[in-house]
Amino acid sequence: MKIVHSVDITPGRCGLYETTRELVYFEREIGLDAYIYDSRPDKNAALESGNPNGYKEYRWDEERSVPIIPLSEAVECDLLVSHSGLTADLIRARMPFVQVAHGRPYSSFLLEKDENKQIYSSYKILHKTEGYKGAITLWEPYVAYLEMLFPKVHYAPACVDLDLWGIDNRDKFDFGGLGGDVNVVISDLWRKDKDPYHVINGFYLFYKEYMTKAKHSVKLHLYGLEESILNSIQCLLSIGRELGCLGEIAPMVPSLPLIYRSADILLTPHNIATRTVREAMACGVTVVGGPSNPFTKYSADPEDLRWYSKIINDVVKSRLSNKEAEVKIARDSAMRNFDPIRTAKRLEEIYLEVM
């Protein structure tokens, strides 16, 4: 069976693409004949549409060992795995397809409610499209939500490339010269359904209550801050500047593996295995997650600032006294929970079932 994954290819800019690349790479590792089709318009089509800025030119032929095929080959495959939605060309091809629902359901709902992006509605009627074979989610807690939209939802566990995101060559990044004895990172994007507001405040409270007489330094580094977000949260950031706890602040960066391998702690409000959780833990970073995050032993409700700040303090103390042990705990959890070979084998089972 020949499988093609359709996705807008945006290396280093989009977690959806990075996840798709990993799925194809490890499907091939277990012997599946899997490919990627770049569903963005080509350069000429972008120019003709009057949107030349919508096109970004990359080299695909050697894109981290994942083979890219053109539309003419994609439509001849036995199964289409849609990640970015169906283009008109793919609909006309009437291929058997499954839809991977990457977005968190509430996030997709809010994009439609507030910005009129018809993701939620398109999911609701997708099963009526000729060739539809089912939907897939990488997050088990969302199966019940998605079954409100799709007739049947298959679950394959989220994974990460454990070689790319590893623990070798740790502590090589200096955080723009702004690092501390303990380096804390927040790299979640600011989404409508959930953002880093509460965890930033949780860190501030930790700093106020536990760091006034400390002999060690702890710095908070923020990544993924696009200009529009950065400009809109200056008041929030000014609190950290006044406390003296802020380190590097940057937009999306290509050096996240290097950053994570030099970081100690990742703060996130999430309970699921987002890319930030998977990538950071694979690099040996201790994650402080949401109150029911099953992948880390450190979890708390970010909206309960005193609880969350206490957990941060517990982790800081443990990283200072048992750093190598904490690195191993995080890495072992990633290897146990985010194994890409296991995910590829589960996807193979789903493909065989729907076909």
Per the CB < 8 A criterion, the answer to whether 146 and 153 are in contact is yes
3-state secondary structure at position 184: strand
pLDDT at 161 over 90: yes
Alpha-carbon distances, residue 23 vs 30, 80, 152, 292, 309 (angstroms): 11, 13, 21, 26, 36
Q: For 238-283, how does the pLDDT look when each residue is reduced to its tens digit (9 = 90+)?
A: 999 999 999 999 988 878 999 999 999 999 999 999 999 999 999 9
For the whole model, what pTM was predicted? 0.92
Q: How does DSSP classify residue 246?
A: E
Q: For 54-103, how does the pLDDT look when each residue is reduced to its tens digit (9 = 90+)?
A: 544 444 445 567 888 889 999 999 999 999 889 899 999 999 999 999 98
How far is the C-alpha of 98 from the C-alpha of 155, rounded, in Å? 12
Alpha-carbon distances, residue 94 vs 88, 241, 328 (angstroms): 10, 56, 48
pLDDT at 115 over 80: yes
Q: For 211-222, how does the pLDDT look when each residue is reduced to its tens digit (9 = 90+)?
A: 988 999 999 999
Structure tokens at 221: 């580094």
Fold classification of 175-337 (topology level): Rossmann fold (3.40.50)
3-state secondary structure at position 289: strand
Determine what percent of the chain is predicted with pLDDT higher than 70: 92
Mean residue pLDDT of the chain comes to 92
pLDDT at 49 over 70: no
Angle, CA 254 vertex, CA 249 and CA 258 arms, to 5°: 80
How far does CA 309 lie from the centroid of its chain? 24
pLDDT at 51 over 60: no
Domain boundaries, the chain: 2-159+339-354, 175-337
Token pair 């060739």 in the structure block, residue: 131
CATH of 2-159+339-354, one of 3.30.1360.200, 3.40.50.2000, 3.20.20.120, 3.40.640.10: 3.40.50.2000
Alpha-carbon distances, residue 166 vs 51, 208, 216, 267 (angstroms): 39, 33, 27, 19
